[in-house]
């Protein structure tokens, strides 16, 4: 007997830089489990390594371990009984990862929009150094607004 959860909510967002360092983490919903900073750093680097190993372990190996999009091949989605994890890696090596409840749609869309927010808010911030933790107000506000918008529009469907 398995209990299938089919609600929708985005839980966490985390962003990993080219070298595997965690540059951002954020809870997107009060329901999201509380994760301490040390655990976050572990999650970030573990995911980075697993993402890379997955390409090596995959029965279907891509040329140069690059997927058709042009970024490194690796974990795109993990579906578990209690959550989905979706990863979008940019062609510059940054990984945007989101976790959500199993009924959540639009994870891929949300990640692409977050990439645009990253380009507009974090990269354009003159004080933001590449590969460093993102501490830009505009970015976090943008992410919150995006999540709110997506959750509202999916409730209306």
Partner 1 sequence: GSLITELLRDFDTVEEIHVELEKMGHNIGLKSVDEILAKSEQQGIIIPPCTSLKDTAQVIAKTGFKMMLGINVDTVLSTDGNSFSLLLNENPLALFVELPPEYKNLQYSILYCGVIRGALEQVNLKVRCTFVKDQLQGDETNEIHVQLEQVLQDGAGDDYKEE
Question: Interface with partner 1 includes 87 (CB under 8 A)?
Answer: no
Residues 50-64 as b/e (b if ≥16 CB within 10 A, e otherwise) read ebbeebeeeeeeeee
- Answer yes or no whether residue 49 interacts with partner 1 by CB under 8 A: yes
Q: Does 53 bind partner 1 (CB under 8 A)?
A: yes
Residue 36 or 70 with smaller CB distance to partner 1: 70
Task: Quickly tell me which residue has 């970030």 as its tokens.
Answer: 44
Q: Assess 56 for contact with partner 1 (CB under 8 A).
A: yes
Rounded to a whole number of angstroms, the minimum distance from the CB of residue 66 to partner 1 is 7
Nearest to 25 by CA among 42, 9, 8: 42
Record the tokens describing residue 37, joined without a space. 């900073």
Nearer to partner 1, 91 or 135 (CB): 91
Cα 29 from Cα 26, distance rounded (Å) = 9
Q: Establish if 65 lies at the interface with partner 1 (CB under 8 A).
A: yes
155 by DSSP, 3-state: which? Answer: helix
The residue ranges that bind partner 1 (CB under 8 A) are: 18, 49, 52-53, 56, 65-66, 68-70, 72, 90-94, 112-113, 115-116, 118-120, 123-124, 130
């Amino acid at each position: 007997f398995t209990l299938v959860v089919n609600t929708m909510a985005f839980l966490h967002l985390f962003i990993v830089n080219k070298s595997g360092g965690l540059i951002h983490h954020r809870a997107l919903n009060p329901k999201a489990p509380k994760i301490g900073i040390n655990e976050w750093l572990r999650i970030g680097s573990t995911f980075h390594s697993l993402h890379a190993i997955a390409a090596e372990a995959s029965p279907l190996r891509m040329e140069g371990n690059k997927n058709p999009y042009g970024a490194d091949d690796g974990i795109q989605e993990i579906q578990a009984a209690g959550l989905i994890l979706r990863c979008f890696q940019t062609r510059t090596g940054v990984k945007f990862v989101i976790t959500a409840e199993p009924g959540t749609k639009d994870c891929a869309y949300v990640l692409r929009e977050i990439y645009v927010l990253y380009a507009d808010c974090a990269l354009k911030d003159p004080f933001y150094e590449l590969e460093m933790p993102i501490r830009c107000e505009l970015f976090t506000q943008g992410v919150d607004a995006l999540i709110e918008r997506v959750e509202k529009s999916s409730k209306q469907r």
